[in-house]
Structure 1
Amino acid sequence: MILIGDLHGEYLNILYKINNLEIRNTTLIQVGDFGLGFHDLHHDIKTLSGLNKFLHEKGNSLYLIRGNHDNPYFWNHRQEIQMKNIFFVQDYEAVTIEEQKILFIGGGISIDRKNRIAGKDYWIDEEFVLNPVLLDNACAAGIDMVITHIAPNSAWPYSFTPVVNHYVSREPGLANALYQERSNMNVVYQHAKLAGCKQWYYGHYHQSMVEEKEGVLFRCLDIGEMYQPTV
């Protein structure tokens, strides 16, 4: 199993790494902001088809969760975009991979959303949505690992960066929205911890960071970072 950080459309860099490192017969999991939706649908489907062929030839599979820079269309219509080696994982879906039960949850707020155009490079349903019923159901049989796009407020980062502050100062209510979504994700953390979660991976913040909290290993993946967890 190999985890991959945000890509923002830079698929070729990952293909190069997979080829150069001779990665074969491996499950790849990307933590959101793959970069789907910034071209027309035909272009993105063609790109995915080429990627699927590349993965198939090497015996690899790729699991994708949605980031804030991904069009939810691909996840909402995954039955119509079936590809044997690429899987669009729905929010609160728990999948067993390499004997690890993994809970996946995508979504997040774009701090620069006011500068973007809805339906073109911003999607109004981009945010992570807390769903207590789906969360309870997903955690009922235990969870080993959680993979999300954003982090709970119990994990790094603990304060806004200068870039975030720049946009917060220009959009009333953005700061509260960012605090609230991370507080909501903390509800997931509390449930997952009680369900036995020992590892949590996320992206979104464009830095590499690792820490341990209450017996849970948290790791933020940087853009294009690849990491092989110990399971």
Structure 2
Amino acid sequence: MAKVLAVGDIHGEWEWLNVAVERTEGGIVIACGDFGFWPKHRYVDKKTRELIPVFHPSCFDLKGATVYFCDGNHEDHWTIMEFIERHGRKPIEVAPGVFLCPRGAVVEVKGRNVLFFGGGLSIDREMRRFGHSWFPEEIPSGEDLVAALSAVEAVKRKGEEIHIVVSHQAPRAFRFRLSWGAEPSENGSLRDPTRDMLDEILFAARPRLWLFGHWHERLEGYFE
């Protein structure tokens, strides 16, 4: 029976993803940002010295599965914006069976409405290069938030609900501690406005389940 698998930050580790999709038995993988969407980037293979694409259809062996991912903070956001300008905010197939879900996109997964809203602040941006490995568009815009809230209202007008929200960052209303016992730092330049936008989506949609990545840890809990 086909299954649904949620995964955190892949960061272009396609071999791991290809193994993980086997668990779905031809089902669906939902990736919560930092997927590794760098379609214009190449790296040098240490053995062959050849330039290898970071993101290319040949990277995937999905065995009939479908992958939906939202953007994280570590993606090629300028290329993502180009895709959205051409295709709108519906899911965009960027490789066979692999769909980029722009901020505000809604996908029906096994009878459940899933809202995607990616993005987040890079705390390592000082070590990255503008327009190459870091893009200010990693932070969602007001337009992105309006698109997401409009999507929530559109679903409600049909007499339905948003069952699941998939994001990269977590809403600020979610209080949690990381494995070393501290809460995520939100001081000064580390304060991520994405979390405030996610709060608005949280209280507008009231989903039954929220999936997020970013923190590279397994976190779970309940919110009322």
Whether the TM-score (by the shorter chain) exceeds 0.5 is yes
> CA 1:164/1:101 → structure 2, altered by over 3 Å: closer, same or farther?
closer
1:95 equivalenced with 2:107 (yes/no): yes
Q: What secondary structure, in the 3-state scheme, does the structure 2 residue paired with 1:96 have? A: strand
Match of 2:19 among 7, 10, 16: 16
Q: Paired residues, what number?
A: 198
Q: List gaps (5 residues or longer) in structure 1.
A: 215-231
Q: Which residue of 2 aligns with 1:150?
A: 169
Let me know the Cα RMSD of the aligned residues: 2.9
Moved more, 66-75 or 156-165: 156-165
Contact 2:119–2:194, Cα closer than 8 Å, also in 1: no
1:65 and 2:67 correspond: no
- Is the contact made by 1:104 and 1:148 (CA closer than 8 Å) also made in structure 2? yes
Distance 2:35 2:163 in 1: 24
**Further displaced range: 125-134 or 149-158:** 125-134
Distance in 2, matches of 1:147 and 1:114, equals 27
TM, length-normalised to structure 1: 0.74
Describe how 1:183-202 pairs up with structure 2 within 5 A. Answer: 183-193=196-206, 197-202=207-212
Between 1 and 2, higher relative CO (CA 8 Å, sep ≥ 6) is seen in 1
- Residues 75 and 89 of structure 1 are in contact (CA less than 8 Å); yes or no, is this contact kept in structure 2? no
Q: Match for 1:39: what amino acid?
A: H
Q: 1:118 to 1:162 in 2, by over 3 A?
A: farther
Structure 2 unaligned residues grouped into runs of 5+: 44-50, 156-160
Instruction: Evaluate the alpha carbon distance shift between residue 156 and residue 74 of structure 1 in structure 2; reply closer, same or farther with a 3 A threshold.
Output: farther
Deviation at 1:106, TM superposition (A): 0.5
1:66 Cα deviation (Å)? 0.6
Give the whole-Å Cα distance in 2 for the aligned partners of 1:18 and 1:95: 19
